[in-house]
């Protein structure tokens, strides 16, 4: 019992599956971890909580957590009434 060594954590099959799914989603969205000019997630209408560095993106093709300075091809200006 004293010789038991706790195994190092390693990714499981589910992690590879989720990683591939997210990679495909990011490629479809042309998702980038940086702004495109002045366009970025925290000034996009789909960024749910613009006061947070990370927020839920409610674009129907994404629905994932994204960073305030990220960007994707589905960026849309916040409608004037909501700004």
Query: Per-residue string for binding with ligand SF4, 33-62, x by CB under 6 A?
Result: --------x--x-xx---------x-x--x
Nearer to ligand SF4 by Cβ, of 19 and 73: the residue is 73
Sign of CA dihedral 36, 34, 41, 56: positive
Contact present, 74 and 46 (Cβ < 8 Å): yes
The tokens for 8 are 């190092």
Q: How far is the CB of 23 from ligand SF4 (least distance, A)?
A: 15
Nearer to ligand SF4 by Cβ, of 62 and 82: the residue is 62
Phi, psi of 62 (to 5 degrees): -120, -75
DSSP characters over 52-73: SSEEEE--TTT-EEEETT-B-T
Range 1-40, binding ligand SF4 (CB under 6 A): 31
Interacting residues toward ligand SF4 by CB under 6 A = 31, 41, 44, 46-47, 57, 59, 62, 66, 70-72, 74-75
């Amino acid at each position: 019992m004293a010789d038991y060594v706790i195994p190092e954590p390693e990714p499981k099959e589910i992690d590879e599956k989720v990683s591939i799914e997210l990679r495909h989603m990011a490629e479809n969205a042309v998702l980038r971890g940086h702004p495109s000019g002045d366009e970025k997630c925290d000034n996009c209408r789909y960024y749910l909580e613009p006061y947070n560095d990370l927020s839920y993106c409610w674009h129907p093709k994404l629905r994932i957590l994204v960073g305030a300075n990220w960007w994707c091809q589905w960026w849309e200006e916040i409608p004037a009434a909501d700004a």
